[in-house]
A and B are shown apart, each in its own frame.
Chain A
């Protein structure tokens, strides 16, 4: 919200000429999202400080008039009015536009010259990436220092906040300094307040062109600037680098799917975590778009469906239809049902499977509907096989008996193919320390022994036999990441 620039060469008040803002004349500017004030806390020949104060209206923000917020409780309680963000970049470009382009009528020689300047930036959210501050700003010739803040001094156990007050000292052209800030503030903050359009690449090239090309962290900066929107990253990198250099930098990133759900609940954090479990791989350097484990798992399930000869198959907890897509082309299957509790997932499945464009023969095989595995459901009765892939771990353990009754007692297909993570393998994931689970929504993950015991109990209670198998890379203890049970109804 506050950006100050200090100049200490006599006559320091020349800063006023450079910024096109008279040190004795506090000014205000109206922007679409609030007001900007420019004033001089200090204006002596020895030292002159220009302050840019951005005043964002929090109510406008919350009501969705500004920025990308959709409205909702969380936006009323919002750090945007106080943080250094893309709003500040926009304000810089608007208020210091002339300085940014390096023009200065009165003192053109000063504008073209590297000057000893000091910048102070309040509340830059940098999410414990303070190391990155030096990696990003030092190559540009700055001496970097910052002050961190705890979340709340009354509750030291809550830990540190994301915000730092950043001070940069360096001898740079003022225009360069402003361009650095314009590009790099949103690189750290990441919450762009506007929809990125096609001119976004041009903006980056305009403000970052020369210095960004030679910056050692060009890829990181570019990716973050576009919030990992791949097409923009690629386009920008191709224009900044030679073709070959650029290509190596693009394919690593996938689009972020950041689904946010406003629950209006005072107790739930705003964003639901994106499904990252399929992305979680022991090898930290992801090379392929889709996880091989996910493929292996689905292959195993499809093979199990083939082996049991099922003609009618229900995919219980079908999600966005990854398994359905494979099953649709299995010729032995004449009737296929995809059920999920999430209507959003079902709508996505419908789109992703391109059902409206499929041949009728294929299209008519499949029915998608909403349902829940803790409710008995007549629509699920009479199938040859049911697949329950990576579903049970999303249920509270005390709901598992109801799940077992729904699937094994009431739906009672001839074959149930069920997969779930093997906790005994989690030690191979670097991120999963202290007994963490693979996905924030996992309520439990079973060890080999626990899964075996549960499967056997189900068989005993509901008259099934089970064949257990394990899927994926084998570690030194013989553990594999996914476990699968193929249950066959007796008699």
Chain B
């Protein structure tokens, strides 16, 4: 016997003990597909025949079965299943998992069973048990279908069992081998004229037989609700049926289509919502056409999985865990969606919005609910744009994700709820699951970034307590590693090592950018609040934001933020940026100065007190030592090795003089980054990356391009916005390297923090491995505010030179990859949660305990 079962189903073996179930299962299924009750009894109690542990064994068995079905793995349950209550449990599991249930019944003569039982010395059952099993089986066979098994196969006798062949068939909804490209068309409702116009616009042509097809082999996908309400239902049906028959299109059913089938089957249905119109048209057609329509519509499959599973289509949409499965529940969902059972003010059912929670990577195209504009959320496209109600007929081109529409030629039917423009309603709420527990983020630059649970837990706290509206946070800047520790004796960091890093990794040209000592500040600016609402879903009337590296509003006072944004807008308008880049928003990576603007508390609690205490204390110490040394003192032998011993006071004086000098330099160092800000005029903002505008992420441009573009469009108009000095160095040319080093010495000698050395291109790889996108090389004086004022003392410096950069560098790479990924996702209009995961990941890594001085 040929036993056909769906590729994904729950198979129940039904038969008495010794009927050969287990050997059959072993012959036809993978060992991992078969869950046998005996085996689980063994796991639980070390005894496969121990009936006392059956309850626990079945619990465990069902637990595993559920996990397998969750993962869409065919599963076979090998137990007797002679009691209805046992079969009920299997059927419930199948229903809960929305998978088909198959029963394979082993109807073996009682005599054979007894014979086999006798041959099993280790496991002999009393004869009356065998008899009871055989009786139970005979009684249950007839009712199996009625009990709810979708497919029932009965193998009568040993020969049939031996001859049986199992064939796995594809699921009806499985069209994964169809790769399109597709043009997915929303609810037509008999709007034939608009349909042909749309097909034409999409490039389809009608051949001699009047069958529409695309010359490049594109295929149309109809999302159902072909008829009712509109003017030309029969023509629409004909067109679609012909296309499907010719293999030029697919079609899934809508609720109207199903109702029409019922009507055609002669069932009692209410002729409302436009069905009366379709019926009238159909009655004018020959019987044979009606028959054809009936067969066509009745045979439609509620949803399709297309393009390797990357695309799903269903009339009312489909949740992720329904995709590719089959059950009545799924069919109903695909046709009607989910409703709360309540009705709204227009008498329409209140729907549960499955798209808000949708997190699948499969794009779902659906219709069913008319909106004036397509509804795009979380990788779902709702493209019923109410053509029959006077809206438009819309197609989604796949894989291009382009929407094409034609307007309705008339209002064919008055909608219950007016088809009116809706206010931007933000429905893309983030779900805790998106960022909770261990996270894996796939990025283009690094394959999979793994973020541990402790890191996400820490980030959740920072993000939810301090960060701005996540809609703004399309990018968080990565941390940056310093260059390797300098070999140069007096220095902790020196350009040689920065250049060497790129040289040894095959990068010839690097860009040295002056490192501003302020606070990192990401700016997102929209030309208007309307743009902010439309593009960023920020609806509080703001048009942009300045935020810190942890995603927090840069300014506590929103007025300051508004002023800076307005001034930037004025600059960009004046320089023609908006026009030249054809965009109405921009995202910039900048440094905002002075440092004291953001770090005031830190300066007042930490830096200045150390400065004043150090200068005052050391000054007094030096004076006291000078006085002591100046006295005509008796001379003692100096032995510095033991405690309480004589000391060379002149050496101590020398040491403390040096230290007093250090404190002076330390104070000068931090002072250089401080000034009082009395008005926005006192701020300085130095953009150094033009990160993104509409449609473009500029991580494919060289750093020199960024520097020059910023100079051209953002500076020279308003003194607040300033350019950054830079120098290109050829790391293989000793003269160029010398010039770079000189440049750095000059910068840092005049109070500069240092420089950032970047490869010529924004991203640089070696052997497919991402290189550090930048390394910083900080000045000797600047580092006093990092490593303590007196760190330059040789014995301190020697200890500080032992530092490890590897952890920092790993973090820098991952955060960089996440940062770029976030921007790209935003540009591709990806879902908020997908963009947020990138920013969240950066924050999670920033919670890592890594040496904060690096």
Residue positions of A touching B, CB distance < 8 A: 1-2, 4, 24-30, 37, 39-43, 49, 51, 53, 58-59, 62, 72-74, 76-79, 81-83, 122-123, 125, 149-152, 154-155, 157-159, 161-163, 165, 262, 264-270, 341-343, 370-379, 394-396, 398-399, 401-402, 405-406, 410
Contact = CB atoms under 8 A, between A and B. Distances in A.
19 contacts: A4-B624, A29-B643, A58-B788, A76-B788, A79-B614, A82-B614, A82-B618, A151-B609, A152-B667, A154-B671, A161-B609, A268-B601, A370-B436, A371-B460, A373-B464, A375-B435, A376-B432, A395-B465, A405-B429
Contacts of B435: 375
A398 B468 contact: yes
Nearest to A30: B643
Contacts of A162: 609
Given A165-B616, A269-B605, A342-B461, A40 B631 contact: yes
B211 interface: no
B796 interface: yes
A396 B557 CA distance: 12
A371 B800 contact: no
A2 B604 contact: no
A40 B628 contact: yes
A37 B613 CA distance: 19
Interface of B: 429-436, 457-458, 460-461, 463-466, 468-469, 519, 540, 548, 550, 553, 598-599, 601-614, 616-618, 620-621, 623-625, 627-628, 631, 633-634, 636, 640, 643-649, 652, 667, 671, 674, 676, 785-791, 796, 799-800, 850, 852-853
A154 B648 CA distance: 36
Nearest to A268: B602
Looking at A74, A162, A265, A270, the one whose CB has the most chain B CB atoms below 10 A away is A265
Given A49-B624, A76-B786, 10 more contacts: A2-B620, A30-B643, A51-B628, A77-B610, A77-B786, A123-B617, A152-B612, A270-B606, A372-B463, A396-B468
9 tightest A-B CB contacts, nearest first? A264-B852, A372-B464, A41-B627, A82-B613, A24-B634, A82-B617, A151-B608, A375-B432, A28-B647
A111 to B, nearest CB: 20
A266 B602 contact: yes
B852 A262 contact: yes
A83 B613 contact: yes
Nearest to B671: A154
A24 B633 contact: yes
Contacts of A398: 468-469, 540
Contacts of A265: 550, 852
A267 B429 contact: no
Contact of B469 (A264, A370, A399): A399
B431 to A, nearest CB: 5
Contacts of B643: 28-30
A37 B548 contact: no
A72 B469 contact: no
A59 B799 contact: yes
A29 B634 contact: no
B453 to A, nearest CB: 10
Nearest to B599: A267
A338 B850 CA distance: 32
A39 B634 CA distance: 12
A402 B473 CA distance: 15
Contacts of B796: 58-59
A79 B599 contact: no
A370 B625 contact: no
Contact of A79 (B432, B466, B610, B633): B610
A270 to B, nearest CB: 7
Contact of B606 (A74, A373, A406): A74
B788 A2 contact: no
A4 B667 CA distance: 26
Given A42-B631, A73-B853, A375-B434, A79 B613 contact: yes
Contacts of A165: 616, 620
A4 B461 CA distance: 50
A377 B460 CA distance: 13
B432 A372 contact: yes
A292 B645 CA distance: 61
A76 B787 contact: yes
A41 B624 contact: yes
A371 B429 CA distance: 15
Contacts of B631: 40-43
Given A2-B624, A25-B634, A372-B463, A402 B646 contact: no
Looking at A58, A83, A401, the one whose CB has the most chain B CB atoms below 10 A away is A58
Contacts of B616: 82, 122-123, 149, 163, 165
A406 B132 CA distance: 58
B595 to A, nearest CB: 8
Contact of B461 (A264, A341, A375, A395): A341
A93 B643 CA distance: 15
B605 A62 contact: no
Nearest to B342: A491
Contacts of B614: 79, 81-82
Nearest to B548: A267
Nearest to B848: A264
B528 to A, nearest CB: 18
A82 to B, nearest CB: 4
Contacts of A155: 608, 671, 674, 676
Nearest to B596: A155
Nearest to B647: A28
Nearest to B603: A158
A118 to B, nearest CB: 14
Contacts of A151: 604, 608-609, 611-612
A378 B430 CA distance: 11
Contact of B432 (A62, A267, A371, A399): A371
B665 to A, nearest CB: 14
Nearest to B431: A376
Contacts of A83: 613, 617
Contacts of B636: 24-25
B611 A53 contact: no
Contacts of A402: 429, 469
Nearest to A59: B796
A410 B460 contact: no
A320 to B, nearest CB: 15
A135 to B, nearest CB: 24
A212 to B, nearest CB: 28
B583 to A, nearest CB: 24
B7 to A, nearest CB: 31
A58 B791 CA distance: 9
Contacts of B550: 265
Given A152-B667, A341-B464, A59 B605 contact: no
A76 B550 CA distance: 23
A163 B647 contact: no
Nearest to A346: B457
B617 A27 contact: no
A62 B800 CA distance: 11
B45 to A, nearest CB: 27
B429 A406 contact: yes
Contacts of A43: 631
Contacts of B852: 72-73, 262, 264-265
Given A2-B620, A262-B852, A370 B460 contact: yes
Contacts of A39: 624-625, 628, 647, 649
B613 A161 contact: yes
A150 B615 CA distance: 12
Contacts of B791: 59, 76
A429 B643 CA distance: 56
Contacts of B605: 269-270
Contacts of A74: 606
A441 B686 CA distance: 30
Given A29-B643, A343-B461, A372-B460, A159 B604 contact: yes
Contacts of B633: 24, 26
B458 to A, nearest CB: 8
A154 B628 CA distance: 32
